[in-house]
Amino acid sequence: MKLINLVVAVLALSCGVVSAQDTAANKDVLGRWIKAIWQDHDRNYIKHNSTGDFPVENYEAWFDSITTTYPDARVEILHMLAEGDEVALHWEFTGTSSLRGTEGRSIKVPGLSIVKMENGKIASDVFAYNDLEGHRQLGFTLRAPEEDRVRKVILDFHAGLKNGTHDNAEIYDETYLRVWNNPVTGEWSSDFSDAIHTTPWRASEFTDYESNVEFLDTKVQGDDAIVQVRETGHYRNTETGEGNAWTDVPNIWLLHKNTSDNWKIVGALLGVGPKVEKTNYDDGS
């Protein structure tokens, strides 16, 4: 019995030694993989150091996408833990963007990989990283899809006035309340309509309209939304030369989503802020 126990103990110790050697070797294999691919940018290393089951083409395409967007892409190993034929890798990615509009901006994001080894090669690599933080560092602002739909209504409203394609039925709800501040007198006025959506818009061929919209804030709660904007633009009658111009005027738009799932304007608070100058386009005053 003692002999059997001794043999079992020796086998257990032997297996433990082999396992420790294997895990150390696996960590070394993964370290060389990271250095060759994500530091030296050796693309050929992928297919020569992975198993037949590894998705080489997909990984190469991902590598190409990353290194095109970030020519100086680099991954640094922060921690590695190995058990059996798997290695957990905590890493940090850095790179400088070449994307149009974000050129020169650098990002630094953490990531985690679980890599499986087979005969000294990479068999699989499951990874995750903070993509949202990377986009934030590039200057992107993430918005909910409904906020984009709400903003599009405001943009379509101005585009329709500019192009002569404005349609009340497409923009307004059944009821519409407008409150505005007279830029000359400072007095407030208002009007209400319960039929604006059925009233045809009479576009004039003599209208020159332009308005640039800067979105300041958009709040969506259920089927209601409020949009704060700052607008700069002009309106001019090309036949008479008369019109108005406005600069950095804060406006507030109120919208409601109807039963057809379409956002419509139901109210507006216009000219809520500094007075705008009335301009006569004849003499430019």
Of the candidates 260, 232, 265, 266, the one whose C-alpha atom is nearest the C-alpha of residue 248 is 232
How far is Cα 252 from Cα 256, in angstroms, rounded to an integer?
14
List of residues 6+ apart from 97 with CB closer than 8 A: 69, 70, 103, 104, 105, 106, 107, 138
pLDDT of residue 3: 38
Write out the H or E segment, with its range, that includes residue 179.
Answer: strand 172-181
Domain 146-270 has CATH 3.10.450.50: yes
Q: Which CATH class is domain 2-137?
A: alpha beta
**Where exactly does CATH 3.10.450.50 map onto the chain?**
2-137, 146-270
Q: How many other CB atoms are there within 10 angstroms of residue 227's CB atom?
A: 23
Residue 182 token pair = 């007279």
pTM over 0.85: no
Q: Are 233 and 209 in contact (CB under 8 A)?
A: yes
pLDDT (tens place) for every residue of the chain, 285 residues total: 443 343 333 333 334 443 666 889 999 999 999 999 999 999 999 999 999 999 999 999 999 999 999 999 999 999 999 999 999 999 999 999 999 889 999 999 999 999 999 999 999 999 999 888 999 999 887 677 899 999 999 999 999 888 888 888 899 998 999 998 776 777 888 989 888 878 877 666 667 888 899 999 999 998 999 999 999 998 888 888 888 888 888 999 999 999 999 999 999 998 865 444 444 444 444
